[in-house]
Amino acid sequence: MTHEEFLARVPIFGSCTPDEIAAVAGVAQSSQFEPSQIIVTQGTPGQAFYLVLSGRVEIVRDNRSLGAFGPGDFFGEMSLLDQAPRSATIRALEPTECLMLSSWDFKSLLEKHPSIAIKLLEVLSRRLRVADEHLGR
C-beta atoms surrounding 112 within 10 Å? 9
**Residue 52 belongs to a domain:** yes
Structural domain of 67: 3-131
**Residue 136 belongs to a domain:** no
Name the domain count of the chain.
Answer: 1
**Residue 37 belongs to a domain:** yes
Contacts of residue 136, defined as CB under 8 A and 6 or more positions apart, other chains included, come to: none
Q: What is the pTM of this model?
A: 0.85
**Residue 105 belongs to a domain:** yes
pLDDT of residue 13: 85
- Tell me the pLDDT tens digit for each residue of 95-117: 999 999 998 998 898 899 988 88
- Name the band, by pLDDT with cuts 50, 70 and 90, for residue 66: very high
Distance, CA of 13 to CA of 117 (rounded, Å): 11
The residue that leads in pLDDT, 73 or 126, is 73
Task: Tell me the three state secondary structure of residue 43.
Answer: coil
**Residue 18 belongs to a domain:** yes
CATH of the domain at 42: 2.60.120.10
- Tell me the pLDDT tens digit for each residue of 7-50: 998 888 888 999 999 999 999 999 999 999 999 999 998 889 89
**Residue 39 belongs to a domain:** yes
